[in-house]
Amino acid sequence: MRNATIIYMKQKAVPAILGVLLVVFYALWLLWPITIITADIGRHITDGRIFFEFPQWRHALLHTNFYSTSHPDFPIVNHHWLAGLLFYVIQAAIGWKGLHLFVIALCMTALLLFVRLAARFSNGAIASAIAILLLPMIAYRLEIRPEFFGYLFMGLICSVLAIKKYLYALPVIMVLWVNIHASFPLGIALIGLCTVDAVLRNSPLRLKLSTILVISTLATLINPSGIAGALYPFGILRDPGYAVLENQAVLFLKGIGITSTAFTYLAGATVLYVVAVFVLLRRKILREHWPYVVMSGLMILMSWLAVRHIAMTALLLIPVFAAAIPRTRLIYITGGILVTMSLLWQGYTLSHRWLVLGLEPNANNAAMFMKKQEINGPMFNNFDIGGYAIYHFFPEIKPFAYNRPESHPSAFWRDVFIPMMQDDSVWYRELEKYDFNVILFYYGDRTPWAQEFLKARINDIAWIPVFADRNNIIFVRDKAENWKVIQDFGIPKDTFVFK
């Protein structure tokens, strides 16, 4: 009877308990408010609205930077257009909370696919335990992004290749992926690695996998930009003229004082990856798993070079670590202690941060103020708030520029946009050219040029602050059309203090 109870606990109860804990804690991590002010989600939803409501603008939406005042005809590749359509339909149908729940379900499904794959390489308890330990890495990216679909597609591709069924679904997945997010080459890479493995093993599936690899690669041409869309990810890391945090290396960010728990986890995961490779070699099972080992190693390197890859890396490490861990009594005891400590720490961390379903509270206040007071463009805005401006005001008011660097010429960022905020002579030159009437500014922007610009406008008699909250400030130009709003809402300039 005692032996039967132990077997039941190992095979059923413990995996089930760990699985529930994994789902609950990941859901809590994902209950981070939708940060529409500085994130891209507003622009993505507007992509969908434009596509459905203004069919005459579809070509411009897919191929030009038509949201921007500064460079509306600049050619672009809209590699995430389909994600925008999906986000728009869901948000329009069930609101922001419904969209948030959809994204939580999407991410949860992706995670469970990797856990299920890891369970094939080990067992459910070990797979869930590893996932719990890696949750702070997996949850590094919390803003609603098209790349979440990439997690799902990679999980599906891993699962299909592991079970060696439904292989002809892979090109279909690639068609969807290439139109939703630029991370699709990762899928091709894994299919390629598994094809090489099949050839080396002289597997009966080698010809089939080779055919599917070719078809999947050609499938990436099925996007609005054709070959330019298929090749787009390979040029995305060229200097766009404006640095974005997610594309920066870990060591660079730490060097300028930006830290994250996920960076510490990445360092630990890198060490454990090396250990896992040696364990797999010693146990003589590396040959069975090498495509996933190589893929996760590539992702570790990519994560060190650009922090945007950290979450995908953690997901791919779950099955690799599971395959390497021996199933011994000592491992189960040690794992139990580590999981307990991790859950306690995660619970403490989660209890001290926002847990919100839907939009960040009061996120729309600045936009509502502008609309209610009928403040008109042209608008100047800083980089971070561009997507917010697009969501709330397009097409009536266009942002001057927005937070997708590659959508503007790199020279524009270096020679115009940043100097406008640093040098009053450049500011007045562009002001004469564009005749700005309103400035919408996210003052959480800590770049030196943003802070210099705020100080300059506070001291500029031609611009009057009329709105400020915990995120944004609005200035209007001191002219007749704005006198009423200035009279009613003008904020004394000595109110503002710069630290």
Tens-place pLDDT, residues 430-475 = 999 999 999 999 998 889 999 999 999 999 999 999 999 999 999 9
Give the pLDDT score at 134.
Answer: 98
Residue 183 pLDDT > 80: yes
d(CA 7, CA 9) in angstroms, rounded, equals 5
Give the pLDDT score at 8.
Answer: 45
d(CA 163, CA 156) in angstroms, rounded, equals 11
pLDDT in tens, 367-401: 999 999 999 989 999 999 999 999 999 999 999 99
d(CA 135, CA 311) in angstroms, rounded, equals 9
The sign one gets for the Cα dihedral 416, 431, 397, 383 is positive
Give the pLDDT score at 491.
Answer: 94
Residue 11 pLDDT > 90: no
CA atoms within 13 A on the CB side of 208: 11
Residues 276 and 324: beta-carbon distance below 8 Å: yes
Residue 9 pLDDT > 60: no
Give the pLDDT score at 3.
Answer: 53
Residue 306 pLDDT > 50: yes
Q: How far apart are the first and last CA of the chain?
A: 69
- CA distances 483 to 373, 463, 480, Å, are 11, 11, 5
Listing from the earlier edge strand, what are the strands of the sheet with 463-468?
Answer: 379-381, 438-442, 472-477, 463-468
Residues 38 and 245: beta-carbon distance below 8 Å: no
- Checking DSSP bridges between strand 463-468 and strand 379-381, what pairing results, if any? unpaired
DSSP code of 13?
A: I
Average pLDDT over the chain, rounded to an integer: 94
CA angle at 355 for the pair 14 and 30, rounded to the nearest 5°? 60
Give the pLDDT score at 115.
Answer: 97
CA 261, distance to chain mean position in Å, is 17
Give the pLDDT score at 492.
Answer: 92
Cβ count within 10 A of residue 49: 17
Full-model pTM = 0.93
For the residues 325-347, what does the mean pLDDT come to? 93
- pLDDT category at 240 given cuts 50, 70, 90 is confident
Under DSSP, is residue 476 helix (H, G, I), strand (E, B) or coil?
strand
Per-residue DSSP letters for 362-428?
TTTHHHHHHHHTT----EEE-STTHHHHHHHHTTTS--SS-S-GGGS-HHHIIIIIHHHHH-HHHHH
- CA distances 258 to 251, 255, 262, Å, are 9, 7, 12
Residue 6 pLDDT > 60: no
d(CA 392, CA 476) in angstroms, rounded, equals 18
For the residues 181-193, what does the mean pLDDT come to? 97
Q: At residue 46, what is the residue type?
A: T
- pLDDT category at 243 given cuts 50, 70, 90 is confident
Residues 370 and 473: beta-carbon distance below 8 Å: no
For the residues 254-264, what does the mean pLDDT come to? 92
Residues 338 and 289: beta-carbon distance below 8 Å: no
d(CA 96, CA 309) in angstroms, rounded, equals 26
CA atoms within 13 A on the CB side of 249: 6
Under DSSP, is residue 319 helix (H, G, I), strand (E, B) or coil?
helix
Residues 462 and 478: beta-carbon distance below 8 Å: yes
Give the pLDDT score at 493.
Answer: 83
Give the pLDDT score at 290.
Answer: 96
Asked if the peptide bond before residue 326 counts as cis, ω within 30 degrees of 0, the response is no
Q: Which of 159-163, 206-210, 263-267, 494-498 has the lowest mean pLDDT?
A: 494-498
The domain ranges of the chain are 2-31+77-351, 365-495
Residue 34 token pair: 């939708």
Residue 44 pLDDT > 80: yes
d(CA 491, CA 378) in angstroms, rounded, equals 21
Cβ count within 10 A of residue 218: 13
Picking from 136, 137, 142, 140, the residue whose alpha carbon sits closest to that of residue 345 is 136
- For residue 346, the cross-strand partners are none
Residue 356 pLDDT > 50: yes
d(CA 78, CA 63) in angstroms, rounded, equals 6
Picking from 359, 350, 356, 389, the residue whose alpha carbon sits closest to that of residue 34 is 359
For the residues 357-363, what does the mean pLDDT come to? 93
Q: Give the position of tokens 């599936």.
A: 205
Residues 136 and 346: beta-carbon distance below 8 Å: yes
pLDDT in tens, 49-74: 999 999 999 999 999 999 999 999 99
Residue 277 pLDDT > 60: yes
Q: Which of 316-320, 324-328, 345-349 has the lowest mean pLDDT?
A: 324-328
Give the pLDDT score at 13.
Answer: 86
